[in-house]
Amino acid sequence: MSSTIRNKVLLGLLLIIKYSSYSQFSSITGSTITNNNLRINIVFDEEIYSNSSCSSLTCIEISDFSLSLSGGNATLGSSTPLTITKLGNYNFVPYWNGGEPNDCCDGGVSSQENYAQHVGTGRLNDLPNGNNLAGVLEIINPNQQIIAGYTYIVSWPVGSSCAHSYYRSNTTSPWTDEKLKAQNAGGDLLVYNSVEEYQFLVPAYADNSGVANTWIGLSQDVDAADYSEPTGGWYWDDGTPIDNSSSKLTYQLTFSLIGTPTGDEILSINPILSPRSVYNCAGEFGIIQTNNLNKVRLFDKLAPYIIETKIAEDNSYVEIKFNEEAFTDVNDNDLLVGDFTLSIEQNGGSANLISSTPTSIVNIGNKIFRLGLPLTGHIKGLETITVNPLTNSSIYDRPDNPSLTSQTNNFANLNRLKTGPIYVGINYGSSSVTGTLQTSNYSYFCSEVNGINYNLAYHDGPNLEPGVGESLIYNYLYNYPHRFISGDDFAFLHLKDFDKIIEVRKSDGLIVAKYNCD
């Protein structure tokens, strides 16, 4: 064996020994995302650390993980999470005050005790939303900040770079108002993620400059599967139940999205590899995972919208097409005529709508809908029909996203009616009833016919009197008094109020000549 080959073999062996000495593990064993696409929970089967020694717990930080997104419409605002929080897997039921929760005492909806507070001692009690208390703001930031409307209490764990800071609201208001105020301040109402966190704040800070008599981020979800009064359905605002003792180790990440998810986006979460960021107690570092346990699909939040609008050739209906299947309610029932509203811009035309509600609806695969048009008057082809959902809650897609009344591809022009054979009938006043076809001959074509007006098409020119090169368009509802004589592919018409005769080609309605009666 040559020395060159021997050296290459030895180098390869050294590389194998070097990299095999670093044990690896697939750290994430499960992942879920909240329905609003705001928070991701990643699950671990064992405690994780930010270094290879597990002699003491260390901070897991946002810089320890990387996010990537593929497919769909939305994109990431950043590949780094906004926040990361270790969720509590403990039972907090023993921390209710004695005899609580009790949902006492008035059964009215306004007094239902579905929201949690600290009492003066720091233990928990349920109250109605309408009570006015200060809220405790929790910020994922170890440093004391000046936050408008709040007074700083303390940070915990003390001296930790991943500490949370707590602030007491300077005003009092209902639970829902305090929650919104906390979110607008960049955090949320206090959520206890460990017994140690609670025992740090209570009783040491259970006074009226701390957490005593305050709202916290715990409430009763009356729609939850485990809801019952008074003890069932209590959840922290991070989505964990009040008794979460059976859960595995979970970290919750928040992240930023640009655009509206369509439900086709796949979000992947992986530990940072350079430098290595996540270890287990055996010193093994987390790797890029290929088992898909670190991936979640975003929920579809894109409202159904109209992508195309067309008018039937005879203007009998308007056809709209949605980007996805559309329904009248969250139970996926078929759309109704009352789910839409019609409007018209005449733009110099004469047609109008008898009603803003379609006369009929034809459903083609839950995406295409033909809506009957209640039109009246002379259609010139200048008029524009616009279709909108009646309200912001009248049309839904399968994921229950409501369509908005503000649309962009929801209008189309009416069609100028096409000519066919030009027929003439007697018109009785304003009636549209047609009578016997009346034919004149050349000898008295320019003479008066007492009391007889005829139905005829209108023309497409800009002036009242039609001219050569314009088209005559049949519409039996439009009254245009005249005298008439017909041949195989022509018709002569006497224009009432004009001492003129026009010659019309019946095959296409084109006016080919105009004559004076004298």
CB 442 within 8 A of CB 418: no
Between CA 393 and CA 403 the distance in angstroms is 7
Residue with tokens 């270790």: 86
Residue 305's closest CA among 411, 385, 400, 406? 406
The number of angstroms, rounded, from the C-alpha of 144 to the middle of its chain's C-alpha atoms is 37
Structure tokens at 204: 């040491």
pLDDT, tens only, 204-239: 999 999 999 999 999 999 999 999 999 999 999 999
**Segments in the chain below pLDDT 50:** 8-22, 419-457, 475-483
Write the CB contacts of 13 (distance below 8 Å, at least 6 apart in sequence).
none
Domains and CATH numbers, the chain: 23-87+250-297 (2.60.40), 93-244 (no CATH), 306-413 (2.60.40), 442-516 (2.40.10)
- Per-residue pLDDT, 426: 34
Count of CA atoms in the C-beta half-sphere (13 A) of 67: 27
Nearest of 480, 364, 359 to residue 423 by alpha carbon: 480
Q: CB under 8 Å to 285, separation ≥6 — which residues? A: 22, 23, 24, 25, 52, 271, 273, 276, 277, 278, 279
Q: Is 275 exposed, middle or buried (0-12, 13-18, 19+ CB in 10 A)?
A: exposed
Look-up of token digits 């005790």:
113
**pLDDT value at position 9?**
45
Q: What is the CA radius of gyration of the chain?
A: 38
| Backbone phi and psi for residue 64, each to the nearest 5 degrees, phi listed first | -85, -10
Q: Are strands 214-220 and 134-139 parallel, antiparallel or unpaired?
A: parallel
What phi, psi does 339 have (nearest 5°)? -85, -10
pLDDT in tens, 247-304: 989 999 999 999 999 999 999 999 999 988 888 888 888 888 888 999 999 999 999 9
Nearest to 370 by CA among 324, 303, 322, 405: 322
pLDDT in tens, 299-332: 999 999 999 999 998 899 999 999 999 999 999 9
